[in-house]
Chain A
Amino acid sequence: MAFQPIKQKYTGAIKEVVLGKDDRAVKIGGRTAFPFLNFEGEFPNPPRIAMEVWDKDPSADWSDVAKAPFQGILSDPPAWAKKCVEEYGAELIVVQTKSADPNGDNAPAEQVAAMVKKIADAVNVPVIVWGVANHDKDTAVMRLVAEQCADRKLAIAPVEEGDYKQIGAACLGYNHTVVASSPIDVNLAKQMNILLGNLGVKENNLVIDPTTGGLGYGLEYSYSVMERLMQASMTQGDDKLQSPVISNMANEIWKCKEANLSAEEAPTLGDPEHRGILMEAVAAVDYLMAGADVLVMRHPQAVKLVRGFIGTMMSA
């Protein structure tokens, strides 16, 4: 019997979204088939890797493995961001505004926004600004950020049900992209997109953050929600979920206990540097296969491995 390939019938495609502007714009999404199945669809843009930069020195929270590539510049976020772009080839930068956390440093909004601007000015790639998921604080910070970086066409995250009106309005006012966050649930993701649509946010300015779990710590939930989002939007005719998906994974992967244990603490878990890097890279592969369009990553070596993987998977 001769082989008859069964092709998936697609009813929709992922919208293309432009991050940043002018000669430093980066396009995401736009694909018309499930991940890397280019025999049945078009893939105008590969999945992108964004490297994260914290707006405060993360030394107290990070293991030696994560710190090593950025030795000497972790307390200098603009220099850190520059190194990610110039040395490690980051296509996008995510600024994590950790200093704003009311349960942590609780830095004033003006100070946080000023640092975001400095970091953004230091790099020539599109910037995603990621808050601390505290509605009041994120609103205060992002309003200032939106205004002070008006010319950059940022993406701003997380925009949640509790603050979408305020942050969404700030994004609309200065033409930034909205990253709509919802807690691991297809219906809630859809609701966010509808609410933001009603507010006036255009589909080409909208990205979905379905919430990311760590490897061994809930990855399967995020993985399946991404696959369900992908099926709903591409094969089940739901036109409210056709936004590209971003996975803010670095935080979650490196929070896992095992990503940070030293060789003395975990003698059976192999080389600590390789372990951390491969935990991040393996989770990245899983999220790519589930349909992520942008990955937020931390370790340059993991970034390099995953970039190579994406290259392989985009081959004709």
Chain B
Amino acid sequence: MGMTGIQILKFLPKTNCGECGVPTCLAFAMQLATGKAELEKCPYVAEESKAKLAASAAPPVRPLTVGTGEYAVKVGGETVSFRHEKTFVNPPGLACLVSSDEAEASIQGKIDRFKACQFERVGLNLRPEMFALKDASNDPATYKAFVQKFMGLCDASLILICPNPDVMAAAMEVAAERKPLLYAVTLKNGPKMAKLAKDFGCPAVVRGDGNMDTVIKLTENLGKMGLKDLVIDTGTREPHRLYQELTLIRRSALATFRPLGYPTIVFPCEMASDLDNETLLSALYIAKYGSFIVMSDFQAHSLFPLLLSRLNIYTDPQRPMTAEQGIYPIGNPDENSPVLVTSNFSLTYFIVSGEIESSRVPAWLLVQDTEGLSVLTAWAAGKFNGETVGTFVKKSGIADKISQKKVIIPGYAAAISGELEEELGGWQVVVGPREASQIPKFLKTL
């Protein structure tokens, strides 16, 4: 990983000139070590030292972006093997394979389903981002026309799959503007394919032959050419072995073994007999170190579970997911429907709203911003008390939607009921159940 402040200090001029804005070189080194300062601020550091420091400070898995605009996919930048050790940073891109000889209706179906797969959840839009366009013609004009036509139908980010650099070159005349991922540089086509990636400034996949030494040789050679935006395909298509390889690649990257410090691409579409089994393998590589995942088809019933698992695995454990503060109507409530208030920890919101929904009693759910804390924790931290809840209920505007001024609070916050009645003035405060699972029973007997 990165150097310590003391290690960095050795590369600095040690003149304590202060021109970087920090009084001493040691203090500056400390800030560099924690990422608070930038090396550029020191006008006197030698070029050679600069290069060494930059290399050491580079993230262990190189970050790179495929595509432009709203479907751009950023991957890499990971710093841990297990999400709880810090967080996973950039979720893998999900791609669907399309072949240049595929029937038009089949391609159109995939594009339609791609566009329809947009799921709103806790303020995020869950959806796939990519298509992998595979050449089956080995003819420059055919592949170019295919890519061009596809780009006219769909804004997705692209992976161009084509072993022949001459064919790829033709497609790049139209595709370069979308910054596609080129698949792939191999030992065989290396020089020509790599030159294409370099000329167009696009990231490229290196494809190995199931032997990690081949991958290392390729990334090292391309690195010498100045090609840094690389993605690894080890060439392995056996799921278990590939999982082990990806684990070892992540370990090597974290140990700053640069030749393997790149994102990865996997092909469940070539590894399973049907879409159900592809879905399971995709789940595996979402959890364990895949950066681009190529499936044979997009179907909502397969994508939806994968998008949820991707959301869960890549949620920052240091920052709880939150629901937006506000009024949530559940089951078309009217002026006589009950009003419940809860915290904005996303799990609390999901569970409480789910239970209200399953009770089939229409209700108003008020979600208060507790900075992502659950009811009990928020109450203990003084963020869910008579004053905060009262202020929120008043400002929410719920009073205009109901005829009787009555609010139901969670059982765990029973202690605030007196204070809340005082704060609200003229409202009746009812203490609800402690556990969300009891809400249906409670609402039905209300």
Q: Which A residues are closer than 8 A to B by beta carbons?
A: 1-6, 8, 36-37, 39, 103, 213, 215-221, 223-224, 227-228, 231, 255-258, 268-272, 274-275, 277-279, 281-283, 285-286, 289-290, 305-306, 308-309, 312-315
In the complex, residue of chain B having the shortest beta-carbon distance to the beta carbon of A215: B308
Tell whether B58 is near chain A: CB-to-CB under 8 Å. no
Tell whether B255 is near chain A: CB-to-CB under 8 Å. yes
Instruction: Give the contact stretch, choosing among B63-71, B294-302, B393-401.
Output: B294-302
Tally the A-B contacts, defined by beta carbons under 8 Å: 151
Q: Please tell me which one of the listed residues A36, A274, A277, A290 contacts residue B240 in the complex, with CB atoms under 8 A apart.
A: A36
Q: Are B317 and A224 interface neighbours, CB within 8 A?
A: yes
Q: Are B117 and A275 interface neighbours, CB within 8 A?
A: no
Tell whether B251 is near chain A: CB-to-CB under 8 Å. yes
Main secondary structure, interface of B, reads: helix
Q: Please tell me which one of the listed residues B212, B220, B280, B347 contacts residue A282 in the complex, with CB atoms under 8 A apart.
A: B280
Q: Please tell me which one of the listed residues B83, B240, B283 contacts residue A285 in the complex, with CB atoms under 8 A apart.
A: B283
Collect the chain B residues with CB atoms within 8 Å of residue A2's CB: 213, 216
Tell whether B173 is near chain A: CB-to-CB under 8 Å. no
Collect the chain B residues with CB atoms within 8 Å of residue A279's CB: 304-305, 308
Q: Are A257 and B354 interface neighbours, CB within 8 A?
A: yes
A266 to B249, CA, bound (A): 40
Q: Are A217 and B280 interface neighbours, CB within 8 A?
A: no
Q: Are B317 and A216 interface neighbours, CB within 8 A?
A: no
Q: Are A274 and B276 interface neighbours, CB within 8 A?
A: yes
Collect the chain A residues with CB atoms within 8 Å of residue B244's CB: 36-37, 39
Other A-B pairs beyond A3-B216, A305-B276, 7, CB < 8 Å: A4-B252, A216-B311, A218-B350, A219-B308, A224-B83, A271-B301, A278-B301
A129 to B211, CA, bound (A): 48
Q: Please tell me which one of the listed residues A6, A227, A278, A314 contacts residue B84 in the complex, with CB atoms under 8 A apart.
A: A227
Q: For A8, A216, A314, which residue has the most chain B Cβ atoms within 10 angstroms? A: A216
Collect the chain B residues with CB atoms within 8 Å of residue A255's CB: 354
Q: Please tell me which one of the listed residues A219, A268, A271 contacts residue B117 in the complex, with CB atoms under 8 A apart.
A: A268
A286 to B284, CA, bound (A): 7
Collect the chain B residues with CB atoms within 8 Å of residue A270's CB: 299-304
> A3 → chain B, closest Cβ, in Å?
4
Tell whether B54 is near chain A: CB-to-CB under 8 Å. no
Q: Are B302 and A285 interface neighbours, CB within 8 A?
A: no
> B230 → chain A, closest Cβ, in Å?
16
Tell whether B287 is near chain A: CB-to-CB under 8 Å. yes
Q: For A217, A219, A228, A278, which residue has the most chain B Cβ atoms within 10 angstroms? A: A278
Q: Are A289 and B287 interface neighbours, CB within 8 A?
A: yes
A271 to B283, CA, bound (A): 19
A286 to B288, CA, bound (A): 9
In B224-252, the 8 Å CB interface with A consists of 238-240, 243-244, 247-248, 251-252
Q: Please tell me which one of the listed residues B118, B277, B305 contacts residue A215 in the complex, with CB atoms under 8 A apart.
A: B305
Q: Are A220 and B216 interface neighbours, CB within 8 A?
A: no
Can you list 5 A-B contacts (CB < 8 A)? A3-B216, A274-B301, A279-B305, A283-B309, A313-B240
Q: Are B213 and A275 interface neighbours, CB within 8 A?
A: no
